[in-house]
Amino acid sequence: MVQKTRRPPPAPAKPDSASEPKRRGRPRAYEPDVALGRALDLFRTSGFAATSLDDLSAATGMNRPSLYGAFGDKRELYIKSYARYRETARAAMADIFRAQLPLKKRLERIYRIALDIYGAGDAQPQGCFTVLTAASEAVSDPVIRAMVVDSLAELDKAFASCFRSGKDRGELPEDADPIVLSQLASATLHTIAIRARAQVPRKELEAIVKGAIGLMCAKAK
């Protein structure tokens, strides 16, 4: 007798009857998506090295072999978690970046969402994955480095197009440089990610954001 916990049939993780033709063997006891989400949370709070497979196993409810089967080894799981984080963050901001709102309003919303993602004001703020754990791994792992570089560039580009369209609509002075402004906007995001992690009160972070927006959106005088 190897198995001690005799659970009731583990509740078919998700019917999902639509597309699935029919799974052959024993059904999964986990939902890959939520499991990856749990793993992501752990990696965000503790980083790569300090997060053990036992922790991951406990958090996801999957035992070690299942983790390997589903996601590969620890590093692969980390990379998939990071990819997941990026998708989530991107999705949360995409609408706003695309929206046809006044520049200032758009920036305000972007930063508000960022503060939410970073957990600003929480007891255990997580900060930004890119800034706070991935960047550290970037030195030793080329794949992660490429993802970090891509993340940074992607953000710069999104901000840049934001400023460009703002300039086109006359919300910025003629000599405003969208590239420079975008880098400053990214920098502001980075600095609040770091400060959030150090549990600087959300009020202060909002003040920083407000000041930065004021400076970036200054009309020529």
Binding partner selected for residue 181 from its own copies, DNA, none, CB under the kind-specific 5 to 8 Å limit? its own copies
Does position 48 bind its own copies by CB under 8 A?
yes
Binding partner selected for residue 92 from its own copies, DNA, none, CB under the kind-specific 5 to 8 Å limit? none
Binding letters toward its own copies, positions 147-166, x by CB under 8 A: -xx--x--------------
- Concatenated DSSP letters for 171-218? SS-TT--HHHHHHHHHHHHHHHHHHHHTT--HHHHHHHHHHHHHHHTP
Binding partner selected for residue 165 from DNA, its own copies, none, CB under the kind-specific 5 to 8 Å limit? none
Query: In 3D, which of 193, 191, 159 has the Cα closest to residue 176?
Result: 159
Exposed, middle or buried by CB within 10 Å (0-12, 13-18, 19+), for 125?
A: buried
Structure tokens at 57: 């196993």
Nearer to its own copies among residue 58 and residue 149 (C-beta): 149
Query: In 3D, which of 109, 89, 110 has the Cα closest to residue 44?
Result: 89
Does position 23 bind DNA by CB under 7 A?
yes
Binding partner selected for residue 5 from its own copies, DNA, none, CB under the kind-specific 5 to 8 Å limit? DNA
Does position 184 bind its own copies by CB under 8 A?
yes
Structure tokens at 85: 């984080």
Q: Where are the beta strands (DSSP E) in 109-192?
A: none
Which residues are at the interface with its own copies (CB under 8 A)? 45-50, 124-127, 130-133, 135-136, 138-140, 145, 148-149, 152, 177, 179-181, 183-184, 186-188, 190-191, 194-195, 197-200, 208, 211-212, 214-215, 220-221
